[in-house]
Structure 1
Amino acid sequence: MDSLEHLPLVKKYLRDEGTEFTNYYTTTAMCCPSRVSLWSGQFAHNHNVTDESPPHGSYTKFVSQKLDQDWLPTWLQSAGYSNNYIGKFINGVSPSLKQAPKGFDSAHWEPLVAPNIYTFYSPVFATNNGPLEAHEGVYQTDIISDKSIAILDGLAKNKSTPWLFVISPTAPHDEVWMTPNGTVFTPPVPAKRHEGLFKGAKAPRHPSFNPEKNDKPSWIGTLPRLDEKQVEAIDATYRARLQSLQATDELVERVIKRLEEHGQLENTYIVYTTDNGYHLGTHRMFAGKQTAYEEDTNIPFIIRGPGVAKGQKSNAVATHTHFPATVLKLAGLSLPEALDAHSIPVLENKAVYGKDQPTEAFSVEFWSAAFMENTTARFNTNTYKSVRLIGQGYNLLYTVWCTGEKEYYDLVKDPFQVKNVYKETKPSLLNRLDALLNVLRTCKGPTCRDPWSVIHAQKSEEDTNKKDKDHHKSVKSLKDALNKKYDQFYANLPKFSFKDCLQYYLTENEGTTPPHSEL
């Protein structure tokens, strides 16, 4: 949505002084499961937090599954780190569930508490496992900024203890109000000093914005074009989003300058990212999220710090699932074998990463109903699994929906996923994508990190010819797999499919169908 272009201080202090990763993704386009993946290093089909509310999501499920027993904060804490947090955490932190999860220092655990997580001028914080703290009439991001500086001052006093500090304002999320008539969404609210900015700004008019033709599967294909009034509302919300982000922009500068005052800026890694993307008018959507399209999954990731190239952009493929491995690698700590992703190559010295292979393929997955804000519309056929493949010369999105529909996009030719070319694509390529999806849908740890070896291990175990075995072991990418000699092998592999459109993850609901006869 081009938000970074309207954040001059993020650009000055982070993007110009660090590296921006343009191929960085969330693998579940909803904030609750996305954040759990960020901290656990697992895809949602492994941590099984798949929604924002109970019984299949929220902080309630996170705690009940004891996911805070073995995750990034506990790994860092066991190595002597002080872990600190302020702002929005996993959805559903409530007055009765305000205790710091394992791994975080209770002295600096101040999450926003429901139902005031998304209210800009009436935020409520949990205070270090103590009483709640309400700030009526004070702008949320400014409170977070003041608290962050105080926490940084405390951390700076103990120069022998390494630390992790997460600062998480809600902006630019909509305000969310719980009323007797249901949940009401209103546009994000800027600080008063930022009201009226960006008067002429409009949501980007990419080719996917309110297109004349709609060839999308499932419920998206039923949507009518946006009318003029809806487009105007989208533009107004877009301006409100940009305005609300300005206080966050100022917070970034304030943190950078305070670290510099304490003499800690040059030995601190600073990351800027978000939990998930957010549609505004793309693909005929008035307001929504939760799809596999770029607007929902491709999110900012910028890092600066010692050994990180300045003013650079990297096309290395990475996801929130890569985050824990990256932090552990930078800290010089060992990586748990159960992590679903490698570390991101954030340092100029690539020798640091050892045997880590570049990521090429990952899954995007979803099991919950889609909705339009401030309407009663709910779409129960939004369950899908996708495979994203990004490599030298190719950028692909392949999705299988619970309805049985499929879609495929070549983003080199069609970067905004306007035309679904599944029916026009050679079966030999689709067979490779089906095979990848079939591995990634249930992968764990090493099988997520190297899905091609899983696919070709099937052949290697059966084949007695050493030469053929070696050929199969050499498949490390789509480019390798596209060798014609593997056409029949892939044609004979089963295809992934859903049995039903469930709004939660059930392994028995996801299986395979017999292979197609064509190559």
Structure 2
Amino acid sequence: MKSYSLFVLPAVLLSFSQIIAAYSPSESAQDPLGTVPFVNNRHGSYYSKQKPNFLVFLTDDQDRRMNSLDHLPLVKKYIRDQGTEFTNYYTTTAMCCPSRVSLWSGQFAHNHNVTDESPPHGSYTKFVSQKLDQNWLPTWLQQSGYSNNYIGKFINGVSPTLKQAPKGFDRDHWEPLVAPNIYTFYSPIFATNNGPLEKHDGVYQTDIISDKSIQILDGLAQNKSNPFLFVISPTAPHDEVWVTPDGVKFTPPVPAKRHEHLFKGAKAPRDPSFNPAKQDKVSWLKDLPRLNSTQIDQIDATYRARLQSLQATDELVERVIKRLEHNGQLEHTYIVYTTDNGYHLGTHRMFAGKQTAYEEDTNIPFIIRGPGIAKNKKSNAVATHTHFPATVLKLAGLPVPDSLDAHSIPVLEDITVYGKDQSSEAFAVEFWSQAFMENTTAKFDTNTYKSVRLIGKGYNLLYTVWCTGEHEYYDLVKDPFQIKNIYEDTKASLLNRLDALLNVLRTCKGPTCRDPWSVLHPSNKKNEIEDNRHGGHHSRGVKSLQDALNKEFDKYYASLPKFGFKSCLQYYDAENELT
């Protein structure tokens, strides 16, 4: 049993509805990043009056937990060695469409409501119909003089009849991959700036993206005073996807012919979560049979194909960064390498895919280099895709909207520029769609869940409530591969706090997402005075789980509702989530 050191304060009891009613966004913790442009900050000698450029390499379904980054020597040379890698970086919905919309909107999926890959609850159709492109990072940058450019995969559902550039992206530099050939490596189709489609039979997708990227960079170099955002998004190492009369089929990714000979002996990592003998999971996972030797051979073959398919991306990174340097753009450019969500191969007896709350699916690569960022460093600061827009705006010296669900990532080496400490220990992972395994026909209707992740000093926790009424709880300090579900062995006092936090995060918006403890422990001047005199649950000092574990709050948390679902819906409905 995990032990915690506790403080002593008398408890004050309120119902959950009273907490919500008492909470006022105007009284929430102010955005710790502020909105002061970095160029005016006295600490930063490396700041320039010129707004920085942003170059984003966005891969598709790239793992972090299966060590693919270690097989990319050029990414290491030009980004990892020259920047900071964030090891506690997560997607909050482990599926392409929701994750990518969160990356650009700064919203959790329960706020932007793109929760699937296909209509009616996901895809580019849902994105456009909700007009999500009217108030998101690209429009904020464009309004401040940025030229925004995109090539490669955007989100699923960009089609020959639905290929117009979303607001914020320059029409002249909008070249997304188009369905049904988004995931075909040797026959990709691009939309060309809202104009004719380009199909490239027999030419490797990543190489086309590489050539087009150089052309775009050379065009941007013609006016170096005009800052830019440029997103380069190859689909590697995603499986190839084929629409057939018998349904959608997945096959392993295809490498460029020059890379087919590589990694012949490579195998998927045999971590403790790989095909475990004992399956201590919820019902649909618990019933999965162990993988047989044929399936394991297929997993290893897919693992090798994924590594091979990433080699052209590795070459792309070198070519683009060298061109940036040649054009005199590198000095003022922040370069990011990330992906949309993680990927499991053989973990927890699952064949291949994503969509769970486990680390293989949610913990993803995020590396950044640029002015003021430490080189060859790893940071354990907690962040998610939802933090990305605030980070870019902060680096650009632009105002950060208070409506964003997450604050900026502390990417700069000089942390004094961020002002007061940022509270970034807790966030939700949420999912409402079927689970399916790529390369199989298996689908599961009970994969709707919400989780709370807490990562702080001395603790790393995952608590999940499933639509079936089942629960999971893991202590990742002791059990990093989430092998032993200790929910039944955990004290109710701790679970009560996790349920209360999940109840806040399930419908949080803006400030309540950034500082959920302030909902459970609101403060104002009057409360501060009373707290100093008597203590109580209004205490301003409650900013983390460690603070909330004060035993004097036990009755208060025990009185709050427990989180749950009415049924297993495959879409988000706030009324289906019980409090």
TM-score category, normalised to shorter length:
over 0.9
Distance of 1:374 and 1:346 partners within structure 2: 38
Q: Any gaps of 5 or more consecutive residues in structure 2? A: 1-65
Q: Distance in 1 between matches of 2:526 and 2:564?
A: 26
- Aligned runs of 1:351-390 on 2, under 5 Å? 351-355=416-420, 357-390=422-455
Match of 2:220? 155
Q: Secondary structure at the match of 2:210?
A: helix
Question: Match for residue 495 of structure 1?
Answer: 562
Cα distance, 1:222 vs. partner? 1.1
- Is 2:96 the counterpart of 1:31? yes
2 CA distance for matches of 1:356 and 1:246? 39
C-alpha contact 2:74 2:315 (8 A) present in aligned 1: yes
Aligned counterpart in structure 1 of residue 184 of structure 2, from 101, 104, 119: 119
Instruction: State the Cα distance separating 1:312 from its structure 2 match.
Output: 0.2
Equivalent of residue 444 in structure 1, options 497, 503, 509: 509
**Counterpart of 2:339?**
274
1:350-393 superposed Cα distances (whole Å, 9 cap, x missing partner): 12223461310000000001112243322000000000000111
Query: Residue 472 of structure 1 aligns to a residue in which SS?
Result: coil
Q: Partner of 1:237 in structure 2?
A: 302
Which one-letter code corresponds to 2:476 in the other structure?
L
Aligned to 2:82: 17
- The amino acid that maps onto 1:191 is A
The equivalent residue for 1:515 is none
1:175 aligns with 2:240: yes
Distance 1:288 1:370 in 2: 9
Q: Residue 189 of structure 1: SS of its match in structure 2?
A: coil
1:476 aligns with 2:543: yes
Q: 2:412 is matched by which residue type in structure 1?
A: L
Residue in structure 1 matched with residue 72 of structure 2 by the alignment: 7
* Distance (Å, rounded) in 1 between the aligned partners of 2:253 and 2:567: 36
Structure 2 equivalent of residue 210 of structure 1? 275
Contact (CA 8 Å) 2:151, 2:209: kept in 1 or not?
A: yes
Rounded to whole Å, the distance in 1 between the matches of 2:439 and 2:230 is 35
The answer to whether the 8 Å contact 1:183/1:374 transfers is: no
Aligned length: 512
* Residues 73 and 314, structure 2, Cα contact 8 Å, conserved in 1: yes
C-alpha distance after superposition, 1:259-314 (max 9, x if no partner): 11112212210000000011111000011210000000000000000000000000
2:53 corresponds to = none
The structure-2 alpha-carbon separation of the partners of 1:494 and 1:261, relative to structure 1 and needing over 3 Å to count, comes to: same
* Deviation, structure 1 residue 13: 0.6
Amino acid at match of 1:495: K
2:423 touches 2:515 (CA, 8 Å); kept in 1?
no
What is the rounded CA distance, in whole Å, between the counterparts of 2:530 and 2:188 in structure 1?
A: 66
Paired residues of 1:459 and 1:472 also in contact (CA < 8 A): no
Paired residue secondary structure (2:310): helix
Q: Is the 8 A contact 2:256 2:312 kept in 1?
A: yes
| Residue aligned with 1:303, SS | strand
TM-score scaled by length of structure 2: 0.87
Q: Percent identity?
A: 82
| 8 A Cα contact 2:185 2:205, kept in partner | yes
Pairing of 1:255-404 with structure 2 (within 5 A): 255-355=320-420, 357-404=422-469
After superposition, the Cα gap between the structure-2 partners of 1:191 and 1:87, relative to the gap in structure 1 and judged at 3 Å, is: same
Please identify, of 363-372 and 484-493, the stretch whose mean Cα deviation from structure 2 is larger.
Answer: 484-493
Q: 1:56 to 1:394 in 2, by over 3 A?
A: same
TM-score by length of 1: 0.97
In structure 1, the gaps of 5 or more residues are 513-519
CA contact (8 A) 2:521 2:537 kept: no
What's 1:517 paired with? none
CA 1:474 to 1:210, structure 2 compared with 1: closer, same or farther past 3 Å? same
Match of residue 120, structure 2, among 52, 55, 63: 55
- Equivalent residue letter for 2:546: K
* Partner AA of 2:414 in structure 1: N
Shift of 1:489: 1.3
Give the match's secondary structure for 1:4. helix
Kindly state the Cα deviation for residue 428 of structure 1 after the two structures are TM-superposed: 1.2
- C-alpha separation between the residues in 1 aligned to 2:307 and 2:442? 27
8 Å CA contact retained: 1:316, 1:358 = no
